[in-house]
Structure 1
Amino acid sequence: MAYFEGNGHSYTDSRFENLFFAGNEALNETEVFENTPGKEKVGILGYDFKNQIEKLDSENPEFFPLPDLCFFEPELSFQVTENGFYSKNKLPETWLDELANSIPSKASSLTCTVSPQISRENYLAKIKTIQDEIRDGNTYEANFCQAFYGKFDSWDPIAAYLRLNELSKMPFSGLFKAKNQWLVSASPERFLKKEGNQLIAQPIKGTIHRGRNEQEDAENQQALLASEKERAENLMITDLTRNDLARVSKTGSVRVEELFGIYPFPRVFQMISTVSSEINPSTSLRDIIYGTFPMGSMTGAPKISTMKIIEREEDFRRGWFSGAYGWIDEDGDFDFSVVIRSIIADLDAKKLYFGVGSAITIDADARLEYEECALKAQAILELLRGN
C-alpha cells in the first residue's frame, strides 16, 4: 500500500499528486527497471542500493533489516481530488467500508520511547573529523547524519501519518506499507521527476527556522538568502546535481532553472535549487537511476569518496532513510521524493527509527549543525513523545 500527498503546496514543477495505490505483487529489480508500458510501479529505493551502483559497502549496524529495493505493482490506484476521487480500476463494492474500518481511532498509540543514537559530544567530535577530511582534500561537503530510535509495544503508523501531517504539512508527504514495515514521511524534498523527455531535480541545502511573526519570518528568510555558507553548500550540491543529470541527458540540455530559491514550510525556510535536462528517448529508467542515485543532497561532493567517509563516520545503516520514495506511471514517467523527515518502523520487531543530517563544510560550526538537526527532528519528536 502507498499514499502520496502534496498538501496544496505551491512548489516549482508541482508537488506530489494525491494518489493511493494498493497491491500484493512484489517486483524484483529486473521488473522495476525494465521498460513495461502500461504498468505502474510504486515503492522505495533504499540508500544502500548505492552498493549495487558503485563499489561501496554498508557495514554499520541496522535497526532492523530492510530491502534495498521495495516495489510493488498496484492492483488498485486512484487519485484524490477536491471533488472526490478518480480511479482507472473497477473498485470492489466493499472498499469504502474496508477503508473506513482501517482509519484509526483517537485512542491509537502514537508515542514510544525514543532516544538519540549518538551523544552530542560524539557528534561534535565526528564533525571535527569530517572537517579534517575536507582539509585533506577528500571531500568538499559531507551530509553527515544521526539517527533516533524507538521501541514500542504497540504503534499505529496510519494514525502517526495523520498526526505528522497535521504537525508538518509537506509537499512530498507519504505513507508506505510493505508487510510489517512502514514509511511515515513528511518530506520537503524532491529527488527526481520525469515528464516525457524532461528530468527535474530539486536539491535542498540551506535551512533556517521560521519566525514568531511576519517580521521575523522576513528577516530569517533574508538571512538565509544572504548566508554565504548556505549558498556555498547549495551551489556545491547544485553543481553535483548538474553533473549527475549530464550523465544521462542530451549534451548541453542541463539547465539551472532556479538557484537559491527560498521556500516556506511549517517550521523552516529551505533553500532549494531546480535543475532540469532533456534525456534521449532511448535512455532507460535503469540508466537514470544508476546515473543519479543517491541524491547529492544526502551524500555530498565528490559523491563516491564522500559516501565512504559517511559510512566510516556514521554509526547506523541508513536503510530507507535518505533513499527515494515514489511511483512510476504507465508511460514510464515518475516522481520520487527524498526520504527525510520520515519515520521507518517494523511492527514485528517493535522498533522504529528516523534520521536527520546536515551539510558539513569547512566553515560549519558543529554546535550550529547539531541545532539544525534538532530543528529538523522537532515535529517527529513531538509526535513520538506526545508533546
Structure 2
Amino acid sequence: MRKTIAYSIANITQFKKAALQWSQQFDEVTWLDSNNHTSKYSSFDALLAVDGLTAFVTDAKNAFHDFKEYQNTTKDWLFGYVSYDLKNDVEHLSSSNLDNLHFPELYFYQPKKIIKIVGGTAEFIYLNMVDDEIEKDFTAISSLVLEEDKNEVSQDIKIKMRIFKDEYFRKVNKMLAYIQRGDIYEANFCQEFYAENTEIKPLKVFNKLNAISEAPFATFLKVQDKYVLSASPERYLKKTGNTLLSQPIKGTAKRSKNAAEDKELKDHLSQDEKERAENIMIVDLVRNDLSKSATKGSVKVEELCKVYSFEQVHQMVSTVTAEISSEKNVVEVLKETFPMGSMTGAPKVSAMEIIEELESFKRGLYSGAVGYITPEQDFDFNVIIRSILFNATEKYVSYAVGGAITAKAIPEKEYEECLIKAKAMRQVLESR
C-alpha cells in the first residue's frame, strides 16, 4: 500500500532539477521527463522513481514469462527496461555480436518512493514503510542548492566508430541485396559510436543532452553502476485502461536556424515519397503487432505520417491505437508487440536475422524500451534512441544511431542521416 501527499510547487522547473539531483543518492533511479510536450496522450509532466524494495533481473531466456510472475506478485508500480535482445525470448533468434556495456537484458524494480509532477503539483507516492519520510524529502528537494552545469561533463574523450564509412556502405549494399532478392522489404540498420577507459558525470551529461534536445520521452535511468541518458523522441507503447497507443517514427530531416529554410525542410519531409513509404511500412507492421492483443476490428491509424518538430530534427510520426480485453495481461501485450517495428523491419523476424548478421555490436538496451507499469495495469514505454549508455565500472560509453533501409535507400544519404541523429550525443560528450 502507498500513501500520497500532493504539494503545490511555485517553480516547477527548479523543482524538477532539484528532484533529479536529490535522486542521485539512490542505487535505482528512473526519471521520465516530457519536457512540456503535452498532448491528449500525456499522463504527467515528469515522473521520478527511486530506491527499489524488490527487483527482477534476468537474461532473455523465459524473460517475459518470469517477469509476468513478478508483476502479478507485486501488483504495484514497477519501473525499468526491456532490452532489444529479448527478441530471443519472443522468436527463435540469438545475439552474438560484441557487447561491452553488459546491461542485464531485463531489469524492473518496485520503488519505495515515487514523485509525480503534473502542472504545478508534485505528488509524493510512497510505500507505507517510508511514508513518514515524505515531508522530510519534500523539504530537502525544495531547499536543495543546485549544482552548476557549467563544469565539464567528462574527461578528454575520444569517440570511435565501430565501423567506418566504407564498411557501412558495404553492409547497407548487402542489406539492399537482401531487399532486391525479396527476403525483406525494410530493415533498421544501426552503428555504434563508443569511448573506452572513459569517465563521465552522468547527471551533467543528461542535463546538457536534455537542454539541447528537449525530447518528449527523455529518460535518466540509473541501475547501480549502469546509466541510460536518453533524449528519445519516440513512444513505443502506452496502455490506458483498455486502449493501446503506439507512435512509431520513421523519417528524419535536419533543422535550420533560418525560419524559411526550416519550414522548407519540414515541408519536404512531409512530402518525401521514400520517407512516407518507410513510415507506412512500419505502420502496417505496428498494426499487425497490435492485432495480436487487440479485440477484433479495433486497430485504427489515428495519424499517418504527421511531421513533428523537435529541437534537433524534424520527425515523421504516426499514431496507431487498439482496444484490448480487460483480461489481457500487460506483460503478454509487451511480448506480443516487442521489439518495436520502427527498430526492426518487415517482415519482422527476417529483418531481425539480417540485422544480427550485418550489425557489428549487440544492441542491448539501445532500441529497447524504458518505462513503467502501474498497479492499475496501465503502462508507458519509450524507444531508447538518441541515448548515451554508460557502464561506470567498465568505463565504457556508447551511443548508437541507425535508419530504415528500403529499396530506394541511398547509402550516402543514410550515412548522412545517421550523423544528424548522432550530433546531439557527440556534442554533449565532447563539450568542455
Secondary structure class of the residue paired with 1:289: helix
Corresponding letter in the other structure for 1:188: P
Separation in structure 2 between the aligned mates of residue 50 and residue 213 of structure 1, nearest angstrom:
43
Equivalent residue number for residue 316 of structure 2? 271
Identity of aligned residues (%): 39
Higher relative contact order (CA 8 A, sep 6+): 1
Number of positions where the alignment pairs a residue of Structure 1 with one of Structure 2: 387
Equivalent residue number for residue 311 of structure 1? 356
Corresponding letter in the other structure for 1:234: N
Equivalent residue number for residue 80 of structure 2? 43
Separation in structure 2 between the aligned mates of residue 35 and residue 238 of structure 1, nearest angstrom:
31
Separation in structure 2 between the aligned mates of residue 54 and residue 83 of structure 1, nearest angstrom:
45
The answer (yes or no) to whether the contact 1:198–1:278 under 8 Å persists in 2 is yes
When structure 1 is superposed on structure 2, of 96-105 and 358-367 the one drifting more is 96-105
Secondary structure class of the residue paired with 1:345: strand
The answer (yes or no) to whether the contact 2:255–2:313 under 8 Å persists in 1 is yes
Where in structure 1 do 4 or more consecutive aligned residues deviate above 6 Å?
A: none
For the aligned residues, what is the CA RMSD? Answer: 1.9
Separation in structure 1 between the aligned mates of residue 373 and residue 228 of structure 2, nearest angstrom:
18
Equivalent residue number for residue 174 of structure 2? 129
Q: Which runs of 5+ in 2 are unaligned?
A: 1-28, 58-62
User: Displacement of 1:295 after TM fit?
Assistant: 0.2
Deviation string, structure 1 residues 320-377 (Cα, Å, up to 9, x no partner): 0000010111211011000000011010111110110000001011000000000000
Instruction: Select which of 239, 248, 264 maps to 2:284.
Output: 239
Corresponding letter in the other structure for 1:302: P
User: Displacement of 1:11 after TM fit?
Assistant: 4.3
Separation in structure 2 between the aligned mates of residue 40 and residue 31 of structure 1, nearest angstrom:
14
Question: Is the aligned partner of 1:6 residue 2:34?
Answer: yes
Question: Is the aligned partner of 1:56 residue 2:93?
Answer: yes
User: Displacement of 1:107 after TM fit?
Assistant: 2.8
Secondary structure class of the residue paired with 2:72: coil
Equivalent residue number for residue 196 of structure 1? 241
The answer (yes or no) to whether the contact 2:304–2:317 under 8 Å persists in 1 is yes
Secondary structure class of the residue paired with 1:336: strand
Separation in structure 1 between the aligned mates of residue 249 and residue 86 of structure 2, nearest angstrom:
21
Separation in structure 2 between the aligned mates of residue 88 and residue 94 of structure 1, nearest angstrom:
14
Deviation string, structure 1 residues 26-78 (Cα, Å, up to 9, x no partner): 12453556335750000010000111111000000102211110111010001
Structure 1's 336 and 243: CA in aligned 2 closer, same or farther, altered over 3 A?
same
Corresponding letter in the other structure for 1:14: S
Alignment of 1:148-297 (within 5 A): 148-297=193-342
Secondary structure class of the residue paired with 2:326: coil
Separation in structure 2 between the aligned mates of residue 15 and residue 352 of structure 1, nearest angstrom:
32
Alignment of 1:342-361 (within 5 A): 342-361=387-406
Equivalent residue number for residue 26 of structure 1? 55
Equivalent residue number for residue 122 of structure 2? 85
**TM score, norm. by length of structure 2:** 0.86
The answer (yes or no) to whether the contact 1:110–1:383 under 8 Å persists in 2 is no
User: Displacement of 1:154 after TM fit?
Assistant: 2.8
The answer (yes or no) to whether the contact 1:193–1:333 under 8 Å persists in 2 is yes
Deviation string, structure 1 residues 291-340 (Cα, Å, up to 9, x no partner): 10000000011100000000000000001000001011121101100000
Deviation string, structure 1 residues 244-286 (Cα, Å, up to 9, x no partner): 0001100100000000111000121100000000001111122
Secondary structure class of the residue paired with 2:159: strand
User: Displacement of 1:94 after TM fit?
Assistant: 4.9
Question: Is the aligned partner of 1:109 residue 2:153?
Answer: yes
User: Displacement of 1:103 after TM fit?
Assistant: 4.8
User: Displacement of 1:17 after TM fit?
Assistant: 3.5
Q: Which runs of 5+ in 1 are unaligned?
A: none
Secondary structure class of the residue paired with 2:93: coil
Corresponding letter in the other structure for 1:373: C
The answer (yes or no) to whether the contact 2:38–2:45 under 8 Å persists in 1 is no
